[in-house]
Amino acid sequence: MAHIDQVLGPADDTVTFFQPRAMVYVTMLWVTAAVWVICLGLYLLMRLAFGDPLPAGSVVTFLEMALIVPAVLSAAILLLAWKRLGWLHSSMHGLDFAATGRKPVHLPWAGVATVSLRHWGPFRELVVTPIAPDFATVGDGVGRAPRTRKRGGEVSYLVDVGLMSPGPEVLIAELHRRLPTKV
């Protein structure tokens, strides 16, 4: 005869999604580098347009700035957000999540009306809409209030999931698997 725990399964079946720091750094590095190089290019064009000649060693200086500034800036931003990157836990108790730099939110499965994804790539967001605002419990964590979107009297919570591991598609499949079917 099987033991009751073997039949019912584990007491805690939490699936965790998180943002790997290395992936966040590399993505931030490319975005920062693209913006920085465009700004440097515009600066050079403006100098040339106004007839200000470039000094002899300025090309090397601009190349150094194009390489060093994005790396240092991305590292500094990552260090500031080190312990506050976004995460999501899906378990039999409900859905727990926090966007980067925001307070955590808990929603029991019976209180989740819809979950969906919007946007694409690293900017992808999970939109969690509770049945009623009373179902959501905001935690006492460090950070600002949770990101919300209000439309037509509905309050939805937004979580940045574009860089989460294992990935937004796996995350949404897990959430749809756990959502109770509405009749």
pLDDT score recorded for residue 14: 84
Task: List per-residue pLDDT tens for the chain, 183 residues long.
Answer: 444 444 444 556 788 999 999 999 999 999 999 999 999 989 989 988 998 888 877 888 888 988 999 999 999 999 988 888 999 999 988 999 999 989 999 999 999 999 999 999 888 999 999 999 899 999 987 789 999 999 988 999 999 999 999 889 999 999 998 887 654
- Contact (Cβ atoms closer than 8 angstroms) between residue 128 and residue 102: no
pLDDT tens digits for 76-107?
999 988 888 999 999 988 999 999 989 999 99
The proportion of the chain whose per-residue pLDDT surpasses 90, expressed as a percent, equals: 60
Residue 20: asked if its preceding bond is cis (omega within 30°), the reply is no
User: What tokens does 116 get?
Assistant: 């969906």
CATH for 87-178, options being 2.30.29, 3.90.1530, 1.10.150, 3.40.630: 2.30.29
> Residue 178 and residue 95: Cα distance in Å, rounded?
10
